[in-house]
Every structure is written in structure tokens, then in C-alpha cells.
Amino acid sequence: MPAPRDLALLTGRLVLGGYLAAHGAQKLFGSFDGYGIEATSAGFDRLGLQPGGFFARVAGVSELGGGVLVALGAAQPVGPAVLAGTMAVASSTHLDNGPFSTKSGYELPLTNLATALALGVAGPGSLSFDRLTGFRLPRPLRPSGRGRCGPGGPGGRVRRIIRGSGRGRGSRRLAPPGRHPPRPGPRPCRGRRLSRAATTARGHDGP
């Protein structure tokens, strides 16, 4: 049985993504008793978002596409990011009307913005397209092993010096004779600190 957290995330995704996808279809195609692209474009012109036709299509595509991605839990975090950006613009167009929807204020778009940000941070949960299929967006390439923290960098040299201390006549020592040097723990490599340690290690050649 799914965990309560996953069920809550699924519910939030379906509600937010489903409603905003429907709003996008209303703007673009006039579905669900919507106004369609022409009337929506005229409305955007009146709001000051000009050219209204361009911004109406951008808003419709963003709501429809982002809403579908959020509802499915696919390509995380693209869907929440798209919806958050769209709702930020929508909130700004209603600033002059105050914070409540009874006066056409920014209450609803701001609520949608907060929900999109929460889903973007929390993730889609296990009941999602990404988790069920193992799909992940490509990430930037990580630094190779030849960098600062790789085997060829100062971090690797310091570890080799520490491990080699006390072995043989010409070995390098970083600890007093008769004491075993501590093994390096699984700490993240830090370029400056390791560079200084490597420089110090080079100047402590034993007899």
C-alpha cells in the first residue's frame, strides 16, 4: 500500500496539474466552456500583456503542458517550474486588485504558485511516471578524476602520501614516528585545504 506522503503528493499533483491543464485548454481551444484563443488574446491586451496573442498562447501552452507534466509526475522538476513561472506572471497582473479573489485579486494564482513550488521541492513521489519508469532528466557532467579531487589532484596525492607513511626508508611522513597517521574519512574534497596539505606534505620528506 502506498505511503500517506505519496498519496498526498499524488492528490496535490492531480488537483493542481489537472486544473491548470484544463485552464490551458480553455485558453487555446475553448475547451471546458473556455473563451478560446481570440477572446483570451483580447483579454491579455486589456491586462497590458501585449501583444496579447503571443502571451495568450505562451500562457495556454505553459498551463496545458506544465499541468500535464505535474499531474503525471513526469520530467521533474520541469512541470512545477513552468507552472510557478506562469503563476508568478498571473499574480503580478492582479496586484492592483488586492489579495482576495472576490475582487479579482491574486489569491488563486498565488496559491497555485505556492503549491507548484512545494511540489517542485518535495518531488513527485513514488506514484509518478518518473519513479515507475526510472526516467530522469540528464544532469550536467561531473568533474573528471583528473581534477582537484580526483586521483591525479592534490587530494589524491595527499591520500597516497598518508597511506605510504612509515613504509620503507624513503617514505614520506605526516605523523610523528611510532604513531599511525589517521586514515582520511569520507569528507568532501575541498580544493584550497587539500592544496595546502599537499604543499606541506611535499616539504616533510623523511630520511
Domain annotation covers residue 98: yes
Note whether 161 and 67 are same-domain residues: no
Would you say 78 and 16 are in contact if contact means Cβ atoms under 8 Å apart? no
Residues 32 and 125 in one domain: yes
Residues 15 and 87 occupy one common structural domain: yes
Tell me the pLDDT tens digit for each residue of 76-117: 999 999 999 999 999 999 999 999 999 999 999 999 999 999
What range does the domain containing 24 cover? 7-133
Q: Are 78 and 154 members of one domain?
A: no
Same domain, residue pair 39 and 73 = yes
Residue 2 counted as domain residue:
no
CB 39: neighbour CB atoms within 10 A?
13
Any domain includes 182:
no
Query: Are the beta carbons of 158 and 203 closer than 8 angstroms?
Result: no
Neighbours of 56 (CB within 10 A): 24
- Rounded to an integer, what distance in angstroms lies between the CA atom of residue 70 and that of residue 128? 9
C-alpha cell at 199: 604543499
- Domain count within the chain: 2
What are the tens digits of pLDDT across the range 173-196?
Answer: 444 555 555 555 555 555 444 444
Span of 16-25, 81-90, 195-204 with lowest mean pLDDT: 195-204
91 domain-assigned: yes
